[in-house]
Amino acid sequence: MLDEPRWIAAWPPGRGSRHRSTVMMCIVLAVSSLGLAGVTASGAPGPGPTACTAGWTVVAQQDDSFTWTEPLPGLRAVSWTGIVQLLENLDGNCYVLGIRMRYAGPVNGGTLAITQNPFVSYTVQYPNPFTNYGSVGVNAYGDLVTWSPAAGTYLGYTVETHFGINTRGADEYFVQGVGLGGVVSGVQVVFGLPMSLLGKTIYAQIHVGMNLCQCSVSSFFVPGSAPPPFDFALSVNPTSGTVTAGGSVTASVTATLISGTSTAVTFSATGLPAGATASFSPSQCLPTCTSTMTISTTTSTPAGTYSITVKAVGGGLTRTTSYSLTVQSPFNFSLSVSPTAGTVTAGGSVTASVTATLVSGTSTSVTFSAIGLPSGATAGFAPSQCVPTCTSTMTISTTTSTPPGTYSITVKAVGGGVTRTTTYSLTVQAPFDFSLAVNPTSGTVTAGGSVTASVTATLVSGTSTAVTFGTSGFSPSQCAPTCTSTMTISTTTSTPSGTYSITVKAAGGGVTRTKTYSLTVQSPFDFTLSVSPTSDTVTAGGSVTASLTATLVSGTTTTVTFSATGLPAGASVSFAPSQCAPTCTSTMTISTTTSTPAGTYSITVKAVGGGVTRTKTYSLTVQSPFDFSLAVDPTSGTVTAGDSVTASVTATLVSGSSTAVSFNATALPGGATASFAPSQCVPTCTATMTLSTATSTPSGTYSITVKAVGGGVTRTTGYTLTVESPPPGFDFALSVDPAAGTVTAGGTATTSA
């Protein structure tokens, strides 16, 4: 058997139009056939199934070559070189699945030569071929599957495809000459035929012109049988199963192909008990195939044995089989607690018996727990789990912080997918309790002092019981809340400064309460004293200043007052300001009189405040005031008017620090001046006084005052100046006569002088 040749073209996209030509004459050629293995002449299967290779195979083949020439005048001719084949598509059991008729060539397709314009028609006919082209569609069968060349106009010919030439939708392949010589090579035409032609003799017909030539009619017997109809059997494995309500069970459902072509079947199940569902994986398949059936139940599914109908539907067939399902009651139990209520004082515990009683199913271990407990309470179970019917002891423990009240506790047991609960009522009574407060919550004390605060214990719950605050420092040291005690904290001068977190405690009735008191200890007030500069010098009658600084060392600053002792006679002291709060500065001014004795004095400077006295020493040096005497030597002199005279002027230091003095002279006669070299000096010192006169200075004796001024001191002395007139001197007069004259240039003139 042969596969369909690869050169059959693909299915064309459209259907062409039909052409008709003149009928003239035809030639019929002899044909031969090929046998089909395993198939009888009647078309029935041979003895026993014959194994086949599935696919298309050539059942019979004939040479349908011919040549047709028109009689006189002989202008038209047709020549065909080719073969025609009957093909069947077989399955593995040699059943026929499809039929085809192929016009082709031995190698590359048939060759069709056309002279002038006749047309050539390729069709498949049953039960008889046609002789008149007008009846081409009467017995035509088959749909064009592939063809070559495609419909269109070529050099010397056109190709057309005629689709649906009768009510069966039969097709025709059509080649038309166009007046020129044309060669159509590679002709391949394939018709698909209906399965109704199995066991029939059909005709592959090539017709020329309208009635020119029934040139090739190849008859083929179509052997073989169509496959039997689809059928399958259904089975389930295992055929029964047991499940606990709420669980699931599985079984394999197999659809086995009996005959025909496999078709998808869909599975389902009916007769399920209430609350149960069936699912299949896959939900459909192609027999022979297997699906897993899962039957799922709920806890409400009634116990019992059920006959389940398993169904598979497909290809118009329904097959069923039975599955026996036994549902067992699930595990179940009841839960109770005894007693159902209890009372406990906060901080204590209470017990109760919790019983799990088996109701149905196979007993399974259950685990106990409790919810809804008040704050600070816990529940424990001994044992924590057991297999019903069984009993566990529940212990509920509280803390002193557990709030009083009545609580509904949910006691729970869980196991085997089942949860059961019951209620236990717990009443919690409040224990003795009190709160503690201190007022104020903080205080400040100077080291060596004390501070107080009120400590109050307030009853919160329970019966009041005496609480103790401490062995000392509390008055009273104990009391029954609600009550108040006075706390006194005393310090010494050696208590370190700082802020301390004091824990105030009250204890009683097994309860201890604390509060924090913040104590700030301050160092006592203290300061240092300094003077700048620490010494100075003043001339008697003058004053001197210094800066006094009081610097805070510790404690809270307090005003201090300044004073000084040890001043010399005639001296006084003042402070600006006279008092201030350290750290601060005051200016000390010490004033003397001219009578204040010279000398160096140790002055004690004092600052007093806040019970603290601080002193510093200041060294004061008092000097005598500046003084000097004045003398002139000689004390008199004589000068001729117009001349000068000199004398020495001496300033002699008498006391104090020497200071520059300046010299001058007064009461000079007219035209006279006085100068000093140097004009000033520092006593003891001497200057040369020069008294200069003019010739116009009147003669006479004058009392001149010589003065020296400096350091606020003025000193004078006298000098007697005698001015004498000068002696008469040489003199003459001059005149000229005449006083004027005239002369000619180049001449002379004379005068008397």
Band (pLDDT 50/70/90 cuts) for residue 28 is very low
- Give me the pLDDT at residue 31, please: 32
Instruction: Read off the pLDDT of residues 575-631 as tens digits, 9 standing for 90 and up.
Output: 999 999 999 999 999 999 989 999 999 999 999 998 899 999 999 999 888 899 999
Instruction: Read off the pLDDT of residues 552-587 as tens digits, 9 standing for 90 and up.
Output: 998 889 999 999 999 999 999 999 999 999 999 999
Instruction: Read off the pLDDT of residues 136-156 as tens digits, 9 standing for 90 and up.
Output: 999 999 999 999 999 999 999
Rg, Å, the chain Cα set: 76
- Give me the pLDDT at residue 92, please: 85
Residue 39 has pLDDT above 90, yes or no: no
Share of the chain above pLDDT 90, in %: 75
| CA triple 349-354-357, angle to 5 deg | 175
- Going by their DSSP bridges, the two strands 680-681 and 661-666 should be labelled as antiparallel
Band (pLDDT 50/70/90 cuts) for residue 47 is very low
- Give me the pLDDT at residue 730, please: 61
- Give me the pLDDT at residue 733, please: 73
- Non-local (6+) Cβ contacts of 602 within 8 A are 566, 617, 618, 619
Cβ contact 118:177 at 8 Å: yes
Q: What is the dihedral of CA 195, 201, 207, 210, to 10 degrees?
A: -90
Band (pLDDT 50/70/90 cuts) for residue 109 is confident
- Give me the pLDDT at residue 45, please: 39
- Give me the pLDDT at residue 19, please: 34
Instruction: Read off the pLDDT of residues 318-347 as tens digits, 9 standing for 90 and up.
Output: 999 999 999 988 888 999 999 999 999 888
State how far the Cα of 120 lies from the Cα of 173, in Å rounded to an integer: 8
Q: How far apart are the first and last CA of the chain?
A: 190
- Give me the pLDDT at residue 46, please: 41
Instruction: Read off the pLDDT of residues 228-262 as tens digits, 9 standing for 90 and up.
Output: 899 999 999 999 999 988 899 999 999 999 988 89
* Average pLDDT in the chain: 90
Lowest model confidence (mean pLDDT) among 36-45, 83-92, 124-133: 36-45
- Give me the pLDDT at residue 67, please: 95
Closest among 238, 299, 313, 303 to 270, alpha carbons compared = 313
Instruction: Read off the pLDDT of residues 174-226 as tens digits, 9 standing for 90 and up.
Output: 999 998 889 999 999 999 999 999 999 999 999 998 888 999 999 999 999 99
State how far the Cα of 150 lies from the Cα of 188, in Å rounded to an integer: 10
Neighbour count for residue 34 (Cβ, 10 Å): 13
Three-state secondary structure call for residue 443:
strand
Residue 753 has pLDDT above 90, yes or no: no
Instruction: Read off the pLDDT of residues 483-505 as tens digits, 9 standing for 90 and up.
Output: 999 999 999 988 998 999 999 99
- Give me the pLDDT at residue 152, please: 96
- The larger pLDDT score, comparing residue 718 to residue 21, is at 718
Highest mean pLDDT among 358-362, 477-481, 654-658: 477-481
**HEC profile for 189-230?**
EEEEECHHHCCCEEEEEEEECCCCEEEEEEEEECCCCCCCCC
- Does the pTM surpass 0.75? The reply is no
Cβ contact 451:443 at 8 Å: yes
Cβ contact 505:513 at 8 Å: yes
- Sketch out the chain's domains with CATH numbers: 55-222 (2.60.40), 231-328 (2.60.40.10), 332-429 (2.60.40.10), 433-522 (2.60.40.10), 526-623 (2.60.40.10), 627-724 (2.60.40.10)
Band (pLDDT 50/70/90 cuts) for residue 43 is very low
Residue 114 has pLDDT above 90, yes or no: yes
Residue 15 has pLDDT above 60, yes or no: no
State how far the Cα of 271 lies from the Cα of 486, in Å rounded to an integer: 90
State how far the Cα of 208 lies from the Cα of 185, in Å rounded to an integer: 17
- The larger pLDDT score, comparing residue 15 to residue 695, is at 695
- The larger pLDDT score, comparing residue 724 to residue 45, is at 724
